[in-house]
Structure 1
């Protein structure tokens, strides 16, 4: 398995897609139930294969990630051959996970208490593997609005 198996909730939200996936392999609902009951290892393999297909599709379309902590925001732009990163670090008593403090940052990003860093690196391994690792460590896929806002400030 390349990534990790989807959660029960993720499988439930993708039940139609999973049914279509099974259908492409000639497996209907009745057959799937039989496989789960009689061949749990085969069922597990099918779940793993479907999970990898879903993750691969999501990751290849991922362009931006965000990771928030109390005093730091990491913003990532995931391009084909490289990843760019903007780090926003606040040196005052804030909790950027709270809306009021987040709003303070957006209004006071030029303050001496705010540091902005940026950099770019090529991927050490496969692009999607690195993006998946960041997601597993708490990053969330985003639309890039915050990245682009701070990118214009830095540029």
Structure 2
């Protein structure tokens, strides 16, 4: 398995897609129930294959990731060959990027002395999608890139 199994909630959301996936393997609903009961190892393998297919599709379409914590923000732009990162450090420990009023303060005061910016770009060390998956597993979320684009224009 390249990634990880989808959660039960994710699988429930993708029920229709999973049914189509099984159909491509010539497995109908009745046969799937039988496989789950009589051969759970095969059922687990099918779920693993489906999970990898879904993750691969999602990660291939991913262009931006955000990871926001109390005093740090990591914003990533993920091209095909390299990843660009904007790192923002909030040195004022009385404020938090996770608090709405503090985030609004940050937006209004982006050049305050308590805020540091760093920007870098690097080629992927290994498989692009695996690197993005690792970032997601560490807490990054897929985004549309609005924050990355805004901050990038601000500091360039």
Unmatched tracts of structure 1, length 5 or more: none
Listed one character per residue, the Cα deviations across residues 46-71 of structure 1 (whole Å, up to 9, x for unaligned) are 00000000000000000000001100
Tell me how far 1:91 sits from its aligned partner: 1.0
- 1:108 correspondence with 2:121: no
2:15 counterpart residue number: 15
Q: Distance in 1 between matches of 2:115 and 2:68?
A: 15
Residue correspondence of structure 1 range 5-154 to structure 2 within 5 A = 5-92=5-92, 93-154=94-155
CA–CA distance in structure 2, aligned partners of residues 25 and 91 of structure 1: 54
Q: Aligned residues, how many?
A: 155
Q: Give the superposition deviation at 1:98.
A: 1.2
Return the TM-score normalized by structure 2.
Answer: 0.98
Distance in 2, matches of 1:17 and 1:23, equals 10
**Moved beyond 4 Å, runs of 4+:** none
Rounded Cα–Cα distance in structure 1 between residues aligned with 2:44 and 2:67: 31
Shift of 1:153: 1.2
